[in-house]
Amino acid sequence: MATHKKLNIKRLIIRTFFSLSIGLFIACKADKNLADNIYCNSDEYWEVYTPAEGFRGVYFRFYKDFSSDRFKVVDNKMVLNESDGDLIYEREKWLLSSDSIMNWGMHKYDLVKLDKTTMVLYHPNDIYLVLLKVNKNKLMKGRRHYEQKRIKYPVKYLP
């Protein structure tokens, strides 16, 4: 009888270990697949949109070494944005945790949504960042473009 109980306990331990291993494998694979959505092809960037400011002409690329760079458009070409006035931008580290918290530079964001074209991050200061994956040849026009359009063609916007 004691041998039978030992055999059942051994089976239970093996089944539990096997189940946990499969669960861990699936969880790690799911996180990896989620993080795979962050990476860009050579002609793609993440463009930042905030509800308060719209599209600001700020772009990012996330790399597999868990770093990111900031870019801007100069003369219709995407260039590394290393400074803006007295602000200096350096390569920032990022990490996506299994509980959907994104550590990016000095900030921690809740990952609200992430797929191949859209990333929505929430900052505790009640700020949402919407990042849209764009092709460098098909960039979105910013607020200034539309403001200038309205100034140039005011009649088109009359009721």
CA distance 27 to 20: 10
What is the per-residue pLDDT for 24? Answer: 36
Question: Which domains, from first to last, does the chain contain?
Answer: 44-141 (2.40.128)
Name the 3-class secondary structure at 6: helix
Q: What tens digit of pLDDT does each residue of 134-153 get?
A: 998 887 777 778 889 999 99
Which residue did the predictor score with more confidence, 12 or 108?
108
Mean per-residue pLDDT for 37-65? Answer: 88
DSSP code for 154:
G
E strands in the chain: 44-50, 54-62, 67-74, 77-80, 83-84, 87-88, 92-96, 101-104, 107-114, 118-123, 127-135
Mean per-residue pLDDT for 79-98? Answer: 86
What is the per-residue pLDDT for 141? Answer: 76
> Residues with Cβ < 8 Å from 118, sequence gap 6 or more?
130, 131, 132, 133
pTM (predicted TM-score): 0.69
Q: What tens digit of pLDDT does each residue of 60-75 get?
A: 999 999 999 999 888 8
Cα dist. 68→40, 59, 78, 104, 143 in Å?
Answer: 11, 10, 15, 9, 25
CB 90 within 8 A of CB 102: no
- CA-nearest of 74, 95, 75, 80 to 45 is 80
